[in-house]
């Protein structure tokens, strides 16, 4: 991925430049993206769309998402009603309307059986989920090298160009490359601004659902802890059975954090008093039940127990979003749940989430600032390696990330809590867990 050529003079996270690119005086040049990225979650999809936006800016194009369907909504991944795209949930990305003229399809021009070089695999939107076709890429369409200065440069004279989201993912140089500014952080700030532009402004009805959920749970913005537990057979298969953080490790780390913050408040009353209030995000009903029970047990119950809140919606052991199922109601419902959860979590004082989930990176981008802020806040961050031994699985090991917002928890206090106070509190939580007689043993989280 490469930065747009012209850089803003001040560090405003590129908000003005992105806004100007997506809301031009005249609508004439477009990059139309079809989301065929079936089976990928909202976080991973957001990462690809953020890269698509940067690609569009590079060639002075307006990015628009267009539905993947041919006379029906069968292929819509997130919303089975107009506009059949993520704009069901987020504000329109541009005032420009999709052009009436037929777009030049990147895939039709650059992929085909007559090309001379095989470059990899790509999902076929016309095939069933999980099926793939081998794509042969035309070497005249792009460079194989990271040094290619501008993706789509051979189509600079084409005003309306379309591409599949899965094609962007297939060309890792289009989205994974850091560009020339990786070392000074410009690329990461630009990528964060692209995320916040596209996904930082939910529609009013989404905000109302989030506000209702927070009011019912008595959650105050900037005064609670958000915890994301990611468990499913699909994730276990992706990471391997030894690479997923078990629920017991989440509970251990959360209880240690709660204990440490409670002790610190006696010395520093300004420390956020609402950290004993938890907003839990998980799509897995077993994870929700086990986490809340373990946390109650570790805290001793009663008034000392943390108050755990979560959205009221159906949950499933298996992943059900982004194309895993084909039921219209479930698809729209699960996307709504994800968007509402993200909007609540971005208002948290602290976030705990597994490092192997792209949802973690998405929440981090959303949490750092509201779109249009003059500068994003650098979150205080630390990683903990969590180990455990579980019957039938053996030893597991994974990483949990903790982020603290420096405007919601004073930066010095956040660092003291995460880097000095948390480790001793972890030992006390380990002792409580070991004495509980749980089948999971040797649970520990190390910085």
Q: How many residues does the chain have?
A: 447
Is 356 a domain residue?
A: yes
Q: Is there a single domain that holds both residue 257 and residue 382?
A: yes
pLDDT over 80 at 1, yes or no: no
Q: How far is CA 219 from CA 277, 291, 379, in A?
A: 7, 19, 21
How confident is the model at residue 72, as a pLDDT? 56
Nearest to 408 by CA among 279, 270, 212, 259: 270
For 312-408, where are the alpha helices, taking DSSP H only? 328-345, 358-368
d(CA 119, CA 141) in angstroms, rounded, equals: 12
Is 402 a domain residue?
A: yes
Contact, 276 vs 258, CB < 8 A? yes
Is 243 a domain residue?
A: yes
Helical (H) or strand (E) element with 366: helix 358-368
Is 4 a domain residue?
A: no
pLDDT over 70 at 89, yes or no: yes
Is 6 a domain residue?
A: no
pLDDT over 60 at 149, yes or no: no
pLDDT over 50 at 369, yes or no: yes
Is 389 a domain residue?
A: yes
How confident is the model at residue 401, as a pLDDT? 94
Q: Is there a single domain that holds both residue 288 and residue 361?
A: yes
Number of CB atoms found within 10 A of residue 237's CB: 10
Is 8 a domain residue?
A: no
pLDDT over 50 at 257, yes or no: yes
pLDDT over 80 at 5, yes or no: no
Q: Is there a single domain that holds both residue 65 and residue 193?
A: yes
Q: Which of 85-99, 170-184, 195-209, 399-413 is predicted with the least confidence, judged by mean pLDDT?
A: 170-184
Among 150, 173, 199, where does a domain finish? 199
How confident is the model at residue 362, as a pLDDT? 94
Query: Which domain range does residue 369 map to?
Result: 204-446
Measured in whole angstroms, the distance separating CA 65 from the mean position of its chain's CA atoms is 18
What average pLDDT score do residues 145-156 get? 62
Q: Is there a single domain that holds both residue 102 and residue 162?
A: yes
Q: Is there a single domain that holds both residue 168 and residue 290?
A: no
Measured in whole angstroms, the distance separating CA 127 from the mean position of its chain's CA atoms is 27
pLDDT over 50 at 386, yes or no: yes
Contact, 170 vs 33, CB < 8 A? no
Query: How many structural domains are present in the chain?
Result: 2
What average pLDDT score do residues 265-285 get? 84
Q: Is there a single domain that holds both residue 29 and residue 139?
A: yes
d(CA 337, CA 304) in angstroms, rounded, equals: 29
Among 143, 166, 199, where does a domain finish? 199
| Predicted model pTM | 0.85
d(CA 55, CA 61) in angstroms, rounded, equals: 8
d(CA 351, CA 400) in angstroms, rounded, equals: 10
Q: Is there a single domain that holds both residue 185 and residue 220?
A: no
Is 408 a domain residue?
A: yes
Number of CB atoms found within 10 A of residue 292's CB: 18
Among 182, 199, 216, where does a domain finish? 199
Q: Is there a single domain that holds both residue 266 and residue 397?
A: yes
């Amino acid at each position: 991925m490469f930065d747009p050529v012209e850089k803003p003079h001040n560090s405003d996270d590129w908000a003005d430049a992105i806004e100007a690119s997506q809301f031009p005086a005249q609508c004439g040049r477009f990059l139309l993206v079809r989301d065929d990225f079936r089976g990928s979650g909202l976080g991973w999809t957001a990462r690809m769309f953020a890269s698509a936006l940067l690609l569009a800016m590079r060639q002075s194009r307006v990015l628009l998402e267009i539905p993947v369907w041919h006379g029906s909504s069968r292929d819509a991944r997130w919303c089975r009603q107009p506009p059949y795209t993520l704009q069901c949930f987020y504000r329109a990305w541009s005032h420009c309307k999709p052009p009436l003229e037929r777009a030049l399809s990147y895939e039709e021009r650059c992929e085909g059986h007559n090309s001379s070089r095989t470059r990899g695999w790509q999902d076929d939107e016309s095939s069933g989920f999980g099926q793939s076709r081998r794509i042969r890429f035309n070497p005249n369409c792009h460079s194989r090298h990271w040094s290619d200065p501008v993706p789509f440069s051979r189509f600079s004279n084409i005003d309306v160009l379309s591409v599949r989201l899965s094609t962007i993912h297939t060309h890792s140089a289009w989205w994974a490359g850091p560009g020339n500014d990786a070392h000074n952080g410009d690329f990461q700030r630009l990528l964060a601004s692209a995320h916040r532009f596209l996904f930082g402004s939910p529609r009013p009805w989404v905000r109302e659902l989030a506000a209702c959920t927070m009011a019912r749970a008595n959650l105050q913005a900037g005064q609670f802890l958000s915890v994301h537990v990611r468990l499913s057979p699909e994730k276990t298969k992706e990471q391997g059975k030894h690479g997923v953080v078990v629920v017991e490790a989440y509970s251990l780390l959360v209880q240690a954090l709660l204990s440490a913050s409670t002790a610190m408040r006696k010395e520093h009353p300004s420390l956020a008093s609402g950290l004993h209030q938890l907003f839990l995000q998980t799509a897995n009903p077993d994870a929700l039940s086990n986490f809340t029970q373990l946390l109650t047990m570790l805290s001793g119950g009663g008034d000392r127990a943390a108050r755990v809140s979560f959205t009221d919606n159906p949950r499933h052991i298996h992943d059900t979003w982004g194309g895993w199922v084909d039921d219209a109601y479930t698809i729209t419902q699960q996307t709504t749940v994800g968007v509402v959860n993200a909007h609540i979590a971005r208002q948290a004082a602290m976030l705990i989430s597994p490092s192997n989930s792209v949802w973690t990176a998405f929440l981090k981008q959303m949490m750092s600032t509201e779109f249009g802020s003059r500068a994003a806040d650098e979150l205080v961050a630390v990683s903990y390696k969590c180990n455990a031994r579980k019957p039938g699985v053996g030893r597991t090991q994974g990483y949990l990330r903790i982020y603290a917002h420096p405007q919601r928890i004073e930066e010095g206090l956040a660092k003291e809590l995460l880097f000095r106070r948390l480790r001793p509190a972890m030992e006390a939580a380990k002792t409580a867990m070991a004495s509980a007689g749980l089948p999971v043993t040797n649970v520990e989280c190390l910085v």
